[in-house]
Amino acid sequence: MNHFANNVFRRGTSSERTFIAVKPDGVQRGLVGEIIGRFEKRGYKLVAMKVVVPSKELAEEHYADLKTKPFFGGLVDYMTNGAAPVVAMVWEGKDVIKQGRSMIGATNPLVASPGSIRGDLCISVGRNIIHGSDSYESASKEIGLWFGKAGEIVNWTPAIWGWTHSDN
């Protein structure tokens, strides 16, 4: 059962949510703290996080849109072989889906902008360290897949929220 519907978020508001995952290469390279720090410094709120070696079924469903690509099998194996876990997270904040993708950078690190996570921290498309939802629909699907149990997403208010989320 998908409990994500109980964790309603509104597109473009301070309660918008996105799914971010540090892939096994990012975990092996010790980049989890750097990535979390970038989202926190931007003013986003971490509302769920877990360290997991995903099942083959979870990885296949997560990457279902890539099923026809020649690299699909290798990608699923890379995500599930246990060489390193995945750090799965849900971040919340104003326009976090679009801004999160901007912070991450292009899928191919060689064309990712300097200052983006991929532009600064990696050089290979096959080891691009991070995944981020690219739309409201994919965020909803991915959060439901990775955090579908009740209580896995926490609602809380950071003390700095008023300083980072005002339009005046």
Q: Quick one: which H or E segment has residue 47?
A: strand 45-52
Catalytic residue, chosen from 3, 62, 131, 165, is 131
Q: Is 23 annotated among the ligand-binding residues?
A: yes
Q: Is 38 annotated among the ligand-binding residues?
A: no
Q: Is 68 annotated among the ligand-binding residues?
A: no
What single-letter DSSP state applies at residue 30? T
Sign, CA dihedral 72-137-12-34, equals negative
3 is a catalytic site residue: no
Q: Is 107 annotated among the ligand-binding residues?
A: yes
Rg (CA), the chain: 15
Sign, CA dihedral 136-156-163-45, equals negative
Q: Is 71 annotated among the ligand-binding residues?
A: yes
Q: Is 39 annotated among the ligand-binding residues?
A: no
Residues whose CB falls within 8 Å of the CB of residue 31, separated by 6 or more in sequence, listed in order: 22, 121, 129
Number of Cβ within 10 Å of residue 76's Cβ equals 20
Residue numbering of the annotated binding site for ATP: 23, 71, 101, 107, 118, 128
Residue numbering of the annotated binding site: 23, 71, 101, 107, 118, 128
- Residues annotated as catalytic are 131
